[in-house]
Structure 1
């Protein structure tokens, strides 16, 4: 590949075994590992290890962070939408004009704006009526997922990027996963995909491609 082509390749700034692993998984699922440059950087961890990496252009030195020429994308839901729109032929998204486009975007925003804050607050044992009014609670999240999972995946019969994103926290913290049977079966289907095994193998070995 020429130097010019390299400069035009979208770049993911990634840190091993972090939130950005879900974007690495998306890239694997979409079959575009040869079309995205992945740069491994350090980030500050909750246990006090790691730290900001000067190579990371993210304004807060966090991951994941995607750059594409002069453009850039942060927040996982936005990166998922960006990549699935960029590579619609991979079938992991719902492009503009698709009859499930609204549902697809709704799940991405629900994860980013509701589900992840609720999970973090629940894990931290932080409770306040204002939080329930704004973000809901774990019972509401479980109910929302359960209502959708009368079918194998959130959008129907086929696995998509919304399944990848919304199942991601429970792949890391299985003990925190809701015990509702349909949710457990869905999480198992998501975890048993070949791309998951391939990425976890690389992450465990400390390799990034």
Structure 2
């Protein structure tokens, strides 16, 4: 059985939501580990085989998968009948992969750089600006409810995930805001977030 190394209330939470959305949570072993948090709390966990102690990290036999976009592609390919991915041969396979790589290679770096107030021509020339990212989302979502059309997919889950944690970053474009709201109202996301908040509360009060 594949094993997902996960830290609650972290970026890897989106992978738990994906498993819930696909209905395959019982087919993946989830091991909760500690990580170093942005505020300096936490610590590397010796049980976590990720070479940098980060999450999420997926182990499947002798194979190892890191980076959320890669894990999303791997899992949706593993369970193609769930409809959350676009398997090889699907007419939207290219669009699906493009959005996953856009998130990892452009969108998340731009969001982090904006949060850190880092502005330099080399940065914007390489990664674009936050306004450019929002424009790309808007030009797609002005014409359809989700990034690949009428149906929610794993790319919507991944690309909307930052806004669930940093609502101050939600852009002004009405179509993008409506899309973020649609993604946030998914039962799978609500269930996982509620579960992890309950766990955190229990730990704090213990």
By the TM > 0.5 criterion, same fold? Answer: yes
* Alignment match, 2:173: 180
Q: Supply the distance in 2 between the matched residues of 1:183 and 1:144 (Cα, whole angstroms).
A: 10
C-alpha displacement at 1:124, in angstroms?
0.3
User: Partner residue of 1:189?
Assistant: 182
Give the secondary-structure state (helix, strand or coil) at the position aligned to 1:13: strand
Partner of residue 82, structure 1: 74
> Quick check: 1:164 aligned with 2:157?
yes
Query: Does residue 1:64 correspond to 2:36, yes or no?
Result: no
Considering only aligned residues, what root-mean-square deviation do their CA atoms show, in Å? 0.7
Of residues 154, 173, 194, the one that matches 1:201 is 194
Equivalent of 2:45, from 40, 53, 64?
A: 53
Match of 2:25 among 33, 55, 63: 33
Q: Compute the TM-score of the two structures, normalised by the length of structure 1.
A: 0.94
How far residue 39 of structure 1 moved from its aligned partner, in angstroms, is 0.4
Q: Secondary structure at the match of 2:113?
A: helix
Gaps of 5+ in 1: 1-8
Cα displacement (A) at 1:176: 1.0
Q: Tell me what 2:146 maps to.
A: 153
Runs of 4+ in 1 over 4 A off after TM superposition: none
Q: Does 1:42 align with 2:47?
A: no
Using the alignment, how far apart are the partners of 2:40 and 2:104 within structure 1?
25
How many Å separate the matches in 1 of 2:193 and 2:179? Answer: 19
What residue is the counterpart of 1:108 in the other structure?
Answer: 100
Quote the Cα distance in structure 1 between the aligned partners of 2:172 and 2:45.
Answer: 38
Q: Which runs of 5+ in 2 are unaligned?
A: 201-206
Confirm whether residue 134 of structure 1 aligns to residue 132 of structure 2.
no
CA distance in structure 1 between the aligned counterparts of 2:162 and 2:43, rounded to whole angstroms: 22
- Rounded to whole Å, the distance in 2 between the matches of 1:13 and 1:164 is 19
How far did 1:206 drift?
Answer: 1.9
Give yes or no for the alignment of 1:125 onto 2:86.
no
Deviation string for 1:86-136 (max 9, x for gaps)? Answer: 000010000000000000000000000000000000000000000011000
In 1, distance between residues paired with 2:84 and 2:199? Answer: 26
Q: Distance in 2 between matches of 1:48 and 1:138?
A: 27
What is the match of residue 203 of structure 2?
none
